[in-house]
Amino acid sequence: MNDPRDVILEPVLSEKSYGLIERGVYTFRVHPKSTKPEIKDAVEEIFNVRVQKVNTLRRKGKRVRNRRNFSYGRKPSTKRAVVTLHAGDSIQMFDL
């Protein structure tokens, strides 16, 4: 992947992710085929910060029921990256 904005799709905004921001840990939804070095380089380039560690996880899409015709579908599976920054670094768009 050449463009870092193809690797980092969007930030994850939840209570748990906001609780981690205080410790310098940020959560992003990333492209399913991206690797940890690609994610690290993309975050450093986009936000101009130093990344200490990257953890990734895959979330399987949930099964959902359609009430009208009683059929079933699926929500899409996603990949998330939990990025830890060096002490003193922060991403300005997440500052509360």
- Element spanning 8, H or E: strand 8-11
Query: Checking phi first, is residue 88 left (phi over 0); if not, alpha (psi -120 to 50) or beta?
Result: left
HSE, side-chain direction, 13 A CA sphere, residue 20:
16
**In the β-sheet with 8-11, what is the strand arrangement from edge to edge?**
8-11, 25-30, 78-85, 51-59
What pTM does this model have? 0.87
CB 86 within 8 A of CB 53: no
Q: What confidence tens digit (pLDDT) does each residue in 51-88 have?
A: 999 999 999 999 999 888 889 999 999 999 999 999 99
Amino acid identity, position 53: K
Quick check: 92 pLDDT over 90? no
Token readout for 75 is: 């929500």
Q: For the segment 27-39, what is each residue's pLDDT rounded down to a tens digit?
A: 999 999 999 999 9
Q: What pLDDT was estimated at residue 95?
A: 63
| Mean pLDDT computed over 5-21 | 93
Q: What is the mean pLDDT of the chain?
A: 92
